A = this chain, B = another copy of it.
């Protein structure tokens, strides 16, 4: 069992990683401390792990709410359902909310925790690879607005993240692969050695070997924790975590959410960012080929699907306008080193997009 610290001063918290730790009696006691608990989960995860989690909790009262599965659950109306349940069960400012599930559950339950009585404690128990390596760490909470993903949210750090890699055994292959896109991202943006380890060990990773998953989580969460600690609210270095995401978000926006998984769009976005980095003469052909090969070995798409050029450009422009007011890209100087690029030759980008997308 590993214990990583996300260093955020008074808001610091541990990420506890291990196999079968949901059966590790007493593990959550220091965080729950006898308080009332409220578990939020979904219809596919609850039957698998809810009763195990309840046994792990020493608390006078354990209440729970089971939400429907899927991205549509990340809505203001789900927030209202959570508020209603909290009020009905008279759960006050001192209770602890636990999110048991993937990114959707963590995001919406985290936002409910952040806004119930101006913030209650919450614990993340992520059960998907994507949530374990990415969304459960760093305090980003959100729901979607009809005009875009994650437009409504706040930063609210958990008091503890508990990642039991045994829960990954029940994860469908496609979702497991989607999580690996974020893992590849960590190697690319900050850790060449880790990237090389992924290249050599990909088969054992796909086999979900316990030791491999533990190491993979440790490296991924360490990198994320370091960037989050240095920049909690994404004013600077935390933006590096968006490698592959500017293109990825535009792909998701064009395809409609749900067609591709987020990780699949990110994989395509990463290879587009790699291609642009090649044209900046930062990466060479062999780098780009290694990146594409690794993503493909993880059964991830490396080329975007057929989209009309204008549609893709509009989707990027929407992101630019509403999200950041500038076209900011995360590019690669080398494998293991990413940079935030605000000004790059506009024609490099437009040429690249013209090659990818039909007019």
Contact = CB atoms under 8 A, between A and B. Distances in A.
Interface of A: 76, 79-80, 83-84, 87-88, 90-94, 111, 114-119, 140, 142, 145-148, 151-155, 233, 321-325
Contacts of A233: 118-119
Q: How many copies does the complex hold?
A: 2
A325 B94 contact: yes
Given A79-B76, A83-B145, A146-B87, A154 B114 contact: yes
Given A117-B151, A323-B92, A76 B80 contact: yes
A148 B93 CA distance: 13
A117 B87 contact: no
B90 A323 contact: no
Contact of A119 (B80, B87, B147, B155): B155
Nearest to A322: B92
Nearest to A140: B118
- When A and B form their complex, which 6 residue pairs have the shortest distance between CB atoms, in order from nearest? A87-B147, A92-B322, A94-B325, A118-B153, A115-B152, A90-B321
Contact of A148 (B87, B94, B147, B323): B87
A233 to B, nearest CB: 8
B94 A154 contact: no
A155 B118 contact: yes
A141 to B, nearest CB: 8
A111 B117 CA distance: 12
A83 B152 contact: yes
A87 B154 contact: no
Contacts of A324: 92-94
Contact of A87 (B84, B145, B325): B145
Contacts of A119: 154-155, 233
Given A80-B76, A87-B147, A92 B154 contact: no
A349 B135 CA distance: 48
A151 B322 contact: no
A115 B87 CA distance: 21
Contacts of A321: 90, 92
Contacts of A118: 140, 142, 153-155, 233
15 contacts: A76-B76, A83-B151, A83-B152, A84-B145, A87-B146, A87-B148, A92-B321, A92-B322, A93-B325, A114-B154, A115-B152, A117-B322, A118-B140, A118-B142, A119-B155
A166 to B, nearest CB: 32
Contacts of A155: 118-119
Given A88-B147, A90-B322, A117-B323, 19 more contacts: A76-B76, A84-B146, A87-B146, A87-B147, A87-B148, A87-B151, A92-B325, A93-B322, A93-B324, A94-B325, A111-B115, A115-B153, A116-B151, A117-B322, A118-B153, A118-B155, A118-B233, A119-B154, A154-B154
